[in-house]
Amino acid sequence: MWITPPVLDDIVDRALREDLSGGDVTTQATVPAERLAVATARAKTPLVVAGALVFARVFERVDASVRFEALVEDGAAVASGTLVWRVRGPAQALLMAERTALNLTQRMCGTATLARAFVDALPEGSRTRVTDTRKTTPGLRVLERYAVRCGGAHNHRDNLGTAVLIKDNHIVAAGGIDAAVARARARAPHTTRVEVEVQSAEQLDEALSARADIIMLDNFSLEALRAAVTRARGHAVLEASGGVTLETIRDIAATGVDLVSVGALTHSAPAADLSLDLALA
């Protein structure tokens, strides 16, 4: 689970510019430049930890002399009150970076915590994968997708260039499922799999006839999902999608689908509650 340094620094630097474009009047006016401090991040509610690298990098971009210590590994579920990360360095730098570091990692921990809840809701022994979608916060997709993995779920396609996903409007524009799949096969790279979104049993049969690699079953009932699994077994990977909740995912997975995609993992995850406590070194 890795976020490449150039990508991470771009996100962190943009966030810091937003908060520090005019400096930090309060910190620079009240805290001596030579004063050293230590600051510790604490979980204020139960959560799944995600974002150590991001937390550290925010402080390092403000002052390269800041030293970071991870007290808990990413992916760990912790109780309220658990100390998660610690940074040491100039007090001014710690105060200037505090809000940006927490803003980014609170979102990440919230996403990881929700992802873990969905994974834990699967039937015992289930081989169904929970995946995210492209319904992410603009500019923060790489962080949110990393957090999804920390929570034990999986990622869907990273962007529009990493897989063919023929959805309802593509089908209309292409002139039908068979035409859309045929054109995708002819033009997409040979390493790219083809997925088709279907909304009925009739469209499922069309996608199977067109030899789609993956078929997304959009808002199918449980009965229709079970029938689709029987119909498509051995011919295509099946993905259930559409309005999946913590209350419904267990029954959806029990139908035997291979994947359940959940947009809520990224578009509706509440931020986790973290605080940063500072003390003089």
Q: Which residues pair with 198 in a beta bridge?
A: 217
Candidates 42, 86, 99, 193; catalytic one: 99
Spatial neighbors of 77 by CB under 8 A, at least 6 apart, are 46, 47, 48, 49, 116
Task: Count other Cβ atoms within 10 Å, centred on residue 126.
Answer: 16
Residue 34 annotated in active site = no
Q: Which residue in 86, 135, 157, 193 is the catalytic one?
A: 135
218 is catalytic: yes
Find the catalytic residue in 167, 193, 226, 250.
Answer: 167
Do residues 55 and 158 make contact, with C-beta atoms less than 8 angstroms apart?
no
Q: One of 24, 74, 195, 197 is an active-site residue; which one?
A: 197
Helix axes 91-120, 5-20, angle to 10 degrees: 120
Whether residue 135 lies in the annotated active site? yes
Decide if 44 is catalytic.
no
Among candidate residues 24, 132, 206, 218, the one labeled active-site is 218
- Which candidate, 103, 105, 102, 192, places its Cα nearest to that of 146? 105
Residue 198: burial class (beta carbons within 10 Å; 0-12, 13-18, 19+): buried
Active site residues: 99, 135, 167, 197, 218
